[in-house]
Every structure is written in structure tokens, then in C-alpha cells.
Amino acid sequence: MRPAPEACARPESRDPAEKETTMIKRHSDLVLEITAHDPDTVENDLNTAVEMAREHAMQESRHGILVTQHSYTSYTVA
């Protein structure tokens, strides 16, 4: 049975019109889902997720990280 995904919520945007929260969700040790709505947050969250994946890959003696863009605001890192 797969454990529930962990979520690292980011603070809400400073723009009051934008109510959505950005976050990195951990679906397993290998899959991270990034949702963000501004370019700086996307870049920071992707860098964080890639570093997490790199650390996991090194511990498991694996190579390669896959980053997939699903939309302008949604990515996965595995």
C-alpha cells in the first residue's frame, strides 16, 4: 500500500488575486510533484526537488533524474 503523499506547502503569493498555494508533493521516495505559479518559485522548487532526487539517487547507487513539465505551473521530478 502506498503511503499518503507528503506536501511541503509554500507561502501564498503576495498578489491577493492569486489564492493558490505553491507546493512540492512527495508521492514516493522517487517522485516529487511541483506546482507553482511564478517563474522564481518554479525555479527554486525545481532546484530543491532535483537536489532531493540527486541525494536519493546517490544513496541508492542510481543514476539519472527525470524532470517532466506537464504545464507551465506543474512538473514532476523522478
Please tell me the predicted confidence (pLDDT) of residue 1: 41
Query: In the prediction, which pLDDT does 3 show?
Result: 44
Cell of 33: 510533484
Q: Which amino acid is at 47?
A: N
Residues contacting 22, CB < 8 A, separation 6+: 9, 10, 13, 35, 36, 37, 38, 41, 45
Question: Residues 9-65: pLDDT tens digits?
Answer: 444 444 444 445 667 676 666 788 999 999 999 999 999 999 999 998 888 888 889
Predicted confidence at residue 2, as pLDDT, reads 41
Neighbours of 48 (CB within 10 A): 15
Residue 60 in contact with residue 52, Cβ under 8 Å?
no
pLDDT value of position 59: 87
